[in-house]
Amino acid sequence: MSKHCGEKVQNRRELLTTVLRYATLGTLGAIGGGIFAKRRRLVQDGICINSGICKGCGIFEQCGLPQALSAKQILTRMDDERK
């Protein structure tokens, strides 16, 4: 009898683990899907997807690093297009 109860508990625990596993897998899938969809939307809207590189940098306006110069070019072009 006790073995039977033990098996039941084991099965219940395994069931819970399986449910949690696939729920987590679903969540990870949703994160992946969300990132893909967002990236597509930003590209379609013509928004610079590299804006994060120099974002928040205090010396961006003065910076002469190639990445910053490239980002400035993109931002200027986007501003011109908006006007």
Partner 1 sequence: MMRFDNIIIGMALSLILCGVTIGAERFPPPDFVETDHVIPSPTVPGPRQDIYEYIDAVVLLAALGLSSYLVLRRRSRRAIFVLMVFSLLYFGFWRKGCVCSVGAVQNIVLSIFDRDYTVPITVAVFFLLPLVFALFFGRVFCAAVCPLGAIQDLVLLRPISVPNWLESGLRLFAYVYLAAAVLFAATGSAFVICRYDPFVAFFRLSGNLNILIIGACLLVISVFIGRPYCRFICPYGVLLRQLSRLSKWRVTITPDECIQCRLCEDSCPFGAIKKPTTDWPTTEYSRSKKRLAILILLLPVLMFLCGWASSGLKTVTSRMHATVRLAERIYLEDTGKVEGTTDASLAFRATGKEQKELYADASNIRAEFKLGGWFFGGFVGLVIGLKLIAVSVWRKRTDYEAGRAGCLACGRCFQYCPKEHERLKKIKEARAKY
Closest CA to 50 of 68, 64, 34: 68
Closest CA to 50 of 82, 77, 32: 77
| 15 contacts partner 1 (rule: CB under 8 A) | no
Query: In whole angstroms, how close is the CB of 42 to partner 1 at the nearest point?
Result: 5
Q: Which is nearer to partner 1, 62 or 83 (CB)?
A: 62
| 52 contacts partner 1 (rule: CB under 8 A) | yes
**Residue from 15, 42, 73, 77 binding partner 1 (CB under 8 A):** 42
